[in-house]
Structure formats: C-alpha cells, structure tokens
Structure 1
Amino acid sequence: MNQEIIERTVYLVSDSTGITAETFSNAVLSQFDDTIKFKQIHLPFIFSIEKAKEVVSRINQNALDTGNQPIVFSTLVNHEIMNTVRSANGIFLDIFGTFVSNIEQLIGHKSNNSIGRSHNVTNTEKYRNRIDAINFSLSHDDGQFVHQLNQADVILIGVSRCGKTPTSLYLAMQYAIKAANFPLTPDDFERNTLPSTIIPYKNKLFGLSIHPERLSEVRNERRPNSSYSTIEQCRYEVTESEKMMRRDGIPWLSTTTKSIEEIATTVLQEIGLNRRLA
C-alpha cells in the first residue's frame, strides 16, 4: 500500500545570502524519509522591518492556503527584525540564537549581532585563498595543465567520470584546498604504471573509483552507445585503476554511494589536510 506524501513548506529567512540557513536546514530535513516532501523557499537579504513584514505576510498566507504552519529557518540577527518574522504563523527556528545565547552565558560576553558577518570575507586573506584555490582547480582539471603541481594540496586520480572534477571544485570552494585531478587512462593500464607527470607527487595522490555499472550509466549520458561507455570497457578500467592504486599504496574510495561532502571529508582526513574554512 502506497504511503501518503506529506507536503510542508519551508522558509529560509536570512539577512544575508541564506547559505547558512540552507545548509543547516538541508542537514536537518534530510533526517526525514521520502514520504515527506519539503518545498523550500529562499528569502535572503531581509534587513529591514518593511521586508520582515512582507515575509510575515507570505508565511501567514501560506498557512491559510495549505492549512499547515510553515517551517521557518532563520539566521536573522537583528532582534527587532527577527521578532517581527517570529510573529508569523509558522514554526520559527532561530539557528544562530539557539547557540549564540548559550555561548554568551558560558563566556560572559555578548555577541556583535552583525548582519552578514558569517559571509563578510571580501578582501580578506581567506577570501583570496579560496579564489586562488578555485582558479588552481579549474586550470588543473583533468590533467589539462601539468605545471605547478608542486603547489597542489591534493591530486585526485581515477578513471574518466568517476567524480574527480566536482570533488576538486568542492574542496576549493568550501575549504580553499588547491586540488588538481588527473585521469587514469587505458594507456596507463597498458604501460602498467602511473602517469609519469604525477609520480613525483605520489604523497599527494588520492584515488577515486566507482562501480562499473554506475560508470557506464554516467558515460552513456555523455557519449551514448560508444565503446567508451560500454559495461565491458567500464569494468576493465575500474578493475585496472583499483589494481594500480592498491599496488602503489594510494589511498582511495568508491564514489558510487557517497555524496560530494562525504568524499571531500574523507580526502581531507586521509591526506591529513586541515579544513581551511573560507
């Protein structure tokens, strides 16, 4: 018997970009199964009472239309604006306030309540480091630029379409990690050796693999009905790449059932890199 799908509206209200509210809410809402469908509505840059009243109107109207109180994740820090939004007919969850008040009591010091402070990184060293890391990862994607690999924090290796590029960019964008990535190809398997370009940086290598069946699906989306995407070719490449990584003592993991966040965290731990939160 099919279970009834429950639908609830979720408002993400912030005085800045709303990235923190989105990240936190996604983590919380992921704890519920697929029988509950959450419709997220982003409301960033709510930094005046007038805007806050507009938010209240939208939340109240939604409650009337659906017959359910919406869920409201808030990263508002201005108390007057926050209390205005809190008056709406919704389940109000104050993300910052829940933790900040406890820390204030612990250390005996009031917080600044500065709007957008968590993302105020323009012209700071952290911001520049993140931009440098993104540029580095883009220019060193898929082995297209082999110079300056000595500057890489990590070099991801693996067969084509196993998740190297998105992982490299995530590491750069989230942690300011200079991540290059390099493909392992049938030519490397025939020579039975790692590409000569990356051998000097063996201590920086981390391998990604993937189930052949999933790899075939991904490749078929890009180049359907090609020898590149056949299950036989995928099985061959995956088997040989994993054999090579085991032989050379390169740490690796399968990306098949893992999220980008899980892959990146494992890479950081295995290589011994610090999280450079940008």
Structure 2
Amino acid sequence: MNAHLENNFKRGFFLTEEALIKLDDIIRKRLLAADPNATLQFKVFRADGMLVEFDNPSAVAAEENSSRNAIKRVEILSAGATYKLSLKFDPKDNTDLGIEANDRDLAYLLAADVKDYVNSEILKFRSFSFDSTLSSKHTFPLLMLPFLFISISGIKESPKGEAVAAILESSDVQAKLNFLIESRLGQNPGPIKWYFVAMIVIFVILFFLGTLLDKAYPRNIFYWGKLAQAHDRLVSLREKFVWGVVIAFVIGIASTIAVDYFKNP
C-alpha cells in the first residue's frame, strides 16, 4: 500500500442515525469513484454478546438498542483489492480511523472528508472521563498539600529551658497556671484532627463522584432506539436539577438580602 493513514479522535461521540447515513454517503462517493464494486459493511457489537452485520446504516439504526442488548461498538469497514478502510466507534476507547490505499490521493481525500465530518458533527463531548480524572495519581498529593501546611503552621515552639526554670522558681501561682494553659493549647491537635476527618470525607466523595458524573454526563452515545429515549430523559432530569439548584441559590441570596434590609432599614 502506498498510503497508510491512521487517526485517533480524543473527544466523545454523539452518533445518530443521520450521522451514520451521512458517513455512509461520504465514504461511498469516494470509494465508488475509485472502485465501482466497492461495498460498505457495518459491524454492530451488542451487550448480549451478539455480533450483527449490515450493509446499510438504516438497518443499524433499526436496532432496539435497549439496556439488555445495548450497542457497545460500531465498526464501518470496507476492503477492496487496492484499499482498506476502518472507522470504529467504541465508548471504552477513542474513535479510530484507519485507511490504506494504493492511490495516495484517494487515501488523503477520503481521510480528509471523514475527519472533517466526524470532528464537526459527531465528536461533541469532552475527551476525558470524570472517574479517571478524579481518581488520578495527582488527586492525593493535591489534597495532602493543605494538610501539610496546616500541620506545619500548627507546630509551636517548645518553651525554652530558662523559661521553664523561671516559672518553676516563681511563687506566682497565676503565672504558672497561664504557662500550663498556653503549653496545652500549643499541643492541641484539634484543627489537624478535623482536617484529617474532612480529607477522608473528601476522598469518599471523590471516589463516587467521578462515576456519578460520568453517568450523568456520558461522553459516548449511540443515539437511536430505546437508549435515545433514555438519554433524552436524562438530559431533561439534568436540566431540571440544575435549574432547581440555581433557583434555590438565587432565592437564598434574595432572602438573606431582604432579611438584612428589614433588620437594618
């Protein structure tokens, strides 16, 4: 093969029936111009373990795509004597495009057409997972920095020997009591203890928060069948929750301002 092109797309995809049909049209036009016998194959991997193959995008979008047989991976493939194409959509991996062809112009033009459409119309979401980001190796050191700062700032210098000897020789009982109280306060681990408790709570929250955010804001979606309806319900619920929080926040601020105004007219 004279040309071998590969492209790995980082962002999450929102793959619809319309996008499948458009991709089919883009790829077929380029391939049929080079090979009148070119065909396109759609491989669909499902959650129930089945692999089904179709030769048109409408048949792919006709899949039920419910929770029991949800689509887990879609591959668009074509191979001829002088070319080979592979476009893979997999929620557990990045979208991947591979093209090999004897005709360099065919390879570059087809890659440009597919990349342009995929980048502009299909890749719509973030390139990272909340769960992997919040559970990364950098999270623990960042949380430990404030703990280290509080620990260092909470360390108080021990009384000097001369000061201790002077207090012991003194007959002033009040001075001795003040010295004991100040020494005890200097050894009080209260703030550090509470920060340690807060750090454990934050760790527990972060442990579940990433998974929760990934479910609330999925980054790869096969938008057809029953899962399209489920996604619409999720978006509606998400919007209601966000608006509820915003309205509650605004009402809280307005109430505080009103109470302060009437208390101090």
**Bigger helix share:** 2
Question: Which TM class, normalised by the smaller chain length?
Answer: under 0.3
Q: TM-score, normalised by structure 2?
A: 0.23
Q: TM-score, normalised by structure 1?
A: 0.22
**Bigger strand share:** 2
